[in-house]
Amino acid sequence: MSAYDLQHSPCMLQETLQLLDPQPGETLIDMTCGLGGHAVAILEKTADNGPAILIDWDPAMLEAARQRLQQHLPRVQTFTSNFAELPQIMQQAGLQWADLAVLDAGVARPQLVDPERGFGFEGSRLDMRMSEQVGPSAHEIINTASESQLRQILRLTQTPRESRAIASAISRARSRQAIASSAELAEIITEATFRRKRPTRRQPASAMLAFRIYVNRELDHLQAGVEAMARALRPGSGRMVVLTYHSLEFRIVRQTLEKLARGHDAPPWLPDPPDACPIIVSLLDKPLKPSQSEAPTCRSVRLFAARSIECENRAVYGPGSQ
Ligand SMILES: C[S@@+](CC[C@H](N)C(=O)[O-])C[C@H]1O[C@@H](n2cnc3c(N)ncnc32)[C@H](O)[C@@H]1O
């Protein structure tokens, strides 16, 4: 059995279904199809004729999802694309509005456990690209970026002191021999952050996360994707859910949704400009946390939900904009 055939329980599925409240015939956009866990559950509610666009930039994930989506395939269009390109995808699909949209950020478990992808601590390669559409791999960055560039990347998740220590350890290690696998990288990070006075070995996870985010430009894409999905919702009735897994994703999504709910980019303490155009309203007082019964891999999730509202000045995507 390959990693992509794993049994799969999507995070916070019940909460997602409750907030989206899918109805028969409604149109779905799944920005991060993954293994199709959220998509299948939503498609069951929008049966028999609710169309869907399912996006994932990793072809291996979409291929695996297709097996699970068998019975719904006639009303589904899949796109091996970056979700930040949603406006172009909707044009191509001939879709003007969506009633439902979901974005479940980050990586999927099969990607994490596949040693060839190099996301985990035991990876045999050092790649970390979620898609061939993204630029240089972790191998290229770790082995060729200057020490100060490595430090800057690490600052995404590490303190200045940790960033300095890790960047310098990487620089020393690669001067002897190129760093070839994520297992080697994890070992270098662990050694670099080993503190003699307090002998606790920090997990290398957060430093590895910094490289993963940088390689895939995850935060830029997330911001563009969340804005695009909000603008794609049918005015006045569309609903969206976004699941984030760590504080950097959380902050980007919160800021993006707040901006769209205010309808302008100006600082929140200034009066609203006359052409402010709020396009969503939050469905929650604060982001939801998972219940105790969720899988350990879902414990860090924070869920955002919003509903679309009418605004005359809104940009229109899809065929309606031509
Ligand atoms: C947490 S998984 C989604 C799991 C899915 N909800 C399910 O139930 O199976 C995240 C997925 O998003 C995809 N992904 C991450 N960033 C993306 C981007 N910018 N564009 C398209 N897909 C992306 C990853 O390849 C991964 O398959």
Residue 7 binned pLDDT confidence (cut-offs 50, 70, 90)? low
Q: 28 and 50 in contact (C-beta within 8 Å)? A: yes
Same-domain status, 79 and 27: yes
Q: Is the pLDDT of residue 138 over 50?
A: yes
Q: For residue range 170-212, what is the model confidence (pLDDT) as tens digits?
A: 999 999 999 999 999 999 999 998 765 554 555 788 999 999 9
| Closest C-alpha to ligand 1, atom 9 | 35
Distance CA 237, CA 97 (A): 10
pLDDT for 132 equals 80
Specify the residue for token string 């509005």: 97
Closest CA to 72 of 133, 19, 121, 30: 30
Ligand 1 centroid–CA 56 distance in Å is 6
Residue % of the chain over a pLDDT of 90: 76
Separation CA 133–CA 131 (nearest Å): 5
Looking at residue 315, which CATH number applies to its domain? 3.40.50.150
- Best mutation site among 56, 78, 81, 109 for ligand 1, i.e. most ligand atoms within 8 A of its Cβ? 56
Q: Using the 3D structure, point to which of 193, 216, 239 is the last residue of a domain.
A: 216
What is the extent of the structural domain holding 229? 3-110+219-321
- Is 165 in the same domain as 207? yes
pTM of the prediction?
0.93
Ligand 1 atom nearest the C-alpha of 130 is 25
Report the C-alpha gap between 56 and 62 in whole angstroms. Answer: 6
- Among 28, 35, 130, 249, say which to mutate for ligand 1: greatest number of ligand atoms within 8 Å of CB: 130
| Position 116 in a domain | no
- Give residue 199's pLDDT: 45
Inside any domain, residue 178: yes
Q: Are residues 12 and 94 in the same domain?
A: yes
Q: Do 89 and 160 reside in the same domain of the chain?
A: no
Rg of the chain in Å (alpha carbons):
21
* 18 domain residue, yes or no: yes
Category of 75 on φ-ψ map: left (φ > 0), alpha (ψ -120 to 50) or beta: alpha
Residue 36 CA, closest ligand 1 atom number: 9
Are 139 and 90 part of one and the same domain? Answer: no
The residue whose CB lies within 8 Å of the most ligand 1 atoms, and thus the one to mutate among 32, 55, 131, is 32
What is the phi-psi region of residue 252: left when phi exceeds 0, alpha when psi lies from -120 to 50, beta otherwise?
alpha
* Spacing, Cα 296 to ligand 1 middle (Å): 18
**Residue 231 within a domain:** yes
Question: Do the domain assignments include residue 124?
Answer: no
**Spacing, Cα 148 to ligand 1 middle (Å):** 31
- pLDDT the model gives residue 88: 98
Q: Which two tokens stand for residue 113?
A: 């456990």
- Please indicate, yes or no, if residue 311 is contained in any of the structural domains: yes
Measured from the CA of 83, which atom of ligand 1 is nearest?
20
58: CA distance to ligand 1 center in Å? 8
Q: What is the mean pLDDT of residues 109-123?
A: 83
Confidence category of residue 280, pLDDT binned at 50, 70, 90: very high
Ligand 1 residue neighbourhood (C-beta within 6 Å) = 8, 10, 32, 34-38, 55-58, 61, 82-84, 104, 106-108, 130, 221
In the reported structure, the alpha carbon of residue 105 is separated from the centroid of ligand 1 by a whole-number distance in angstroms of 6
Number of domains in the chain: 2
d(CA 216, CA 207): 15
Asked which of 154, 187, 216 is the last residue of a domain, the reply is 216
Q: Do 20 and 241 form a contact (C-beta atoms < 8 A)?
A: yes
